[in-house]
Chains A and B, each alone.
Chain A
Amino acid sequence: MVEPELIKAAQAGDRDALVTLLREIEHQVYRTAYYLLNHEQDAMDAAQEALIRVYTKINSYEEKAQFRTWVQRIVTNICIDKFRRKRPSVSIEEHDLVFQAGADVEGEVLSAYAAEDIREAIGKLPEHHRTVVVLRYLQDFSYNEIADSLNLPLNTVKSYLYRARQQLQVLLHDYQKGGVRG
């Protein structure tokens, strides 16, 4: 956690404090960018852009919000922008997969998914679902913290997260079946 004193010093104009602050959040910012963009160089670019924005906007941070949710809001916004510029948007409906509970669920071999498969599957989620999953699992955010970061109602966050897990589960299940069938 970033010390409130450090933030105050940075806001008071102490540049060294501000740079130290950036160093403290550097990894968490990069991690979100990496999993949202699923591309190392894009993530480096987005994370640097986010750090620069934190630097210039530090005075607009207000204590009533958590610092880390404020930071994550900045980085997720940048990533979503990049993401929209890069690809045509995919409607949530297209990805709206129905709850699959059937014979195929039974007898599944429960081997571990490769981290790479999971990352790839996350990359296939619609942007908001992806963002919610990343904040939940890569930043260990609570429902409320995610809602604050993304400026979304709590119920929306929950439904995105549930739907995202459902979709991931189907996608990964397909990978596994694909692997078995060759």
Chain B
Amino acid sequence: MNYHWDWGVFFKPTGIGSEIYLDWFMTGLGWTIALALTSWIIALFIGTIIGVARTLPNKIIANLAAGYVALFRNVPLLIQLFIWYFMVPDYLPESLELWFKQDINPATSAFISTVICLGLFTAARVAEQIRTGIEALPQGQINAGLALGLRLPQLYKDVLLPQAFRIIIPPITSEFLNVFKNSSVASLIGLMELLAQTKQTAEFTANLFEAFTLATLIYFVLNMSLMLLMRKLEKRVQVPGLIALGGK
């Protein structure tokens, strides 16, 4: 098989407008970051609520939250995405359905579906970490809080969550990185994020090794820099002497 190596391919014009292939990668990276960050905000918000709910004394609420986690963790991400993208719109109220299918452009509707899907999917994993973090705190913290006369919401907001969040930074970092990686499934419903742009470049130029090498490099650098950032954050918010609790 003959293969024509050309590492300069990224600076060649694509023939569409005045873009070069590198522009495609940058657009794709932009979508990937937008997808991941938006999903992550949803995941943190819902994940915290579900995680807290799992530790509440009320058995019904705790079981409902456990059910949520079981459901979203045991169905493959791709099936969840197909459900949100292909199925759910059909069951929306008519005006909303028309808006989703006709008024907004395809990229926006794929973006909305992926963000909802990834947000709820990741929320289940975040919830597990939050629960573990809360359960790792000594019972004395809860007792002391209650003895001080705090009500349950105050106990969580002022005593338990600030400590739990600090303990779980390392495991939550890996979930944060996973959102970036998982966002690549959006390429399967036609959103032109990083992986989709890579595939398109490979098909347009036939320089598939170069295209995929660049994509790998971008993901690798992104991953490493986010990891370093989270390590910095961990050091910054660390309360001296507290981290030992997590390891008990």
Q: Tell whether A and B belong to one assembly.
A: no
